Amino acid sequence: MECDRVDLEEASINHETLRQWVRWAETDAGLRPGLTTDHRARIRELERENKELRRANEILKAASAFFGAELDRQSKK
């Protein structure tokens, strides 16, 4: 085991980093409960898309209010 530690130190890999990689690999292999790497990536992708859609929705609401007010002013003339 000492040889492994030396190899890690030579590669500049922290033992906690390696432990986390092992956990992720075990989760991806179905040996440990939790979200797989693919699921985490999909969640991030959906969250990003959701953020973009919310922003677009706010822009459309503002534009709708602006043009709605403009049409209302024109109809009162």
Place of tokens 């590669």: 11
Cα separations in angstroms, 57 against 6, 26, 32, 48: 55, 40, 39, 14
The answer to whether residue 54 scores a pLDDT higher than 70 is yes
* Per-residue pLDDT, 72: 72
Residue 29 φ then ψ, to 5°: -85, -5
pLDDT digits (tens, 9 = 90+) for 10-53: 778 888 988 999 999 999 999 999 999 999 999 999 999 999 99
Confidence band for 6, pLDDT divided at 50, 70 and 90: low
Taking residues 4-9, what's their average pLDDT?
A: 63
* Per-residue pLDDT, 69: 80
